[in-house]
Amino acid sequence: MAKVTAGVGVSHAGAIGAAWDTGRMNDPYWKPAFAGFEFSKNWIQAQKPDVVILIYNDHAAAFDLRLIPTFAIGCGERFRPADEGWGRRDVPAAEGHPELAAHLVQSLIYDEFDMTIVNELDVDHGFTVPMSLMFGTCERWPCRVIPIVVNVLQFPPPTGKRCLALGAAIRRAVECFDEDLNVMVFGTGGLSHQLQGPRAGLINRAFDNRFMDLLIASPEEAAAISHLEYLEQAGSEGIEMVMWLVMRGALDPEVLLRHRFYHVPASNTALGHLILENRTST
């Protein structure tokens, strides 16, 4: 049977991808940010996941105000990098896993999550930046990827509690898939940041680190954080943090912390990163 072995939380700021693509990883400004992922690249190379279920939010590359699914799942065979206005990132297209994706759709809908099925999907920096940070430069990503898109742009986004429950439902679905697969779940986005208005550039170290503490040791408490608290404490884009809760919901109640990293600023955002392993997989 397939098994969820680990979860990864990682920020996905577009500026990180731009720095990567223009060879600025060793610039004095960017080097400390990228240094936090040296352990991660070695770790994931050793773990050899077969499939990554990657939770991210689209930034109007695949969806716009004409169509706003709360939860959408990519069921296609390939997912190309999106052109976000300056050309496609020079990273590989991701190979999907249509059989597992179809199984997830059926299981999640029967588990009362109304998933939007997307058979053709271009993926933006919310997807490609975490892949670059975790796998480095590749001609081909070393695993298959199933994207799950969460609406955190247009009110109302799903609650943290709902996202945590979705993660648990994903794990149940994976564990009844009749193929021996090592599956990991990536929760991306955040941490605190605001891109516009009088509070543009807001970063809240205390809130970010409290959130990561709770995510590790008390996910139900993290899931109880309200939309208003995210807005007040983490900025207008801080709501992206609920996507880390999908990842956490797919894991054991008690997890092994393999890596934790926090750095500010990465452009005008806080850069957060966690690697959590399921005790039942060790």
The residues assigned a catalytic role are: 125, 193
- Cα radius of gyration (the chain): 17
User: CA angle 70-76-78, nearest 5°?
Assistant: 115
How many Cβ atoms from other residues are within 10 Å of residue 96's Cβ?
A: 21
Torsion of CA 189, 272, 234, 209, to 10 degrees: 140
Per DSSP bridges, beta strands 116-118 and 269-278 are: unpaired
Q: Are 267 and 201 contacting, i.e. CB atoms less than 8 angstroms apart?
A: no
Q: How far apart are CA 52 and CA 37, in angstroms?
A: 17
> Do the strands 255-266 and 144-150 form a parallel or antiparallel pair, or are they unpaired?
unpaired
Nearest to 118 by CA among 92, 165, 79: 79
For the chain, percent helix, then strand, then coil, each to nearest 5? 35, 25, 40
Please give the helix or strand (H or E) that residue 64 lies within, else none: none
CA angle 75, 80, 86 (to 5 degrees): 140
- Identify the three-state secondary structure at position 239: helix
241 conformational bin, left if phi > 0, alpha if psi -120 to 50, beta if neither: alpha
DSSP, res 230: H
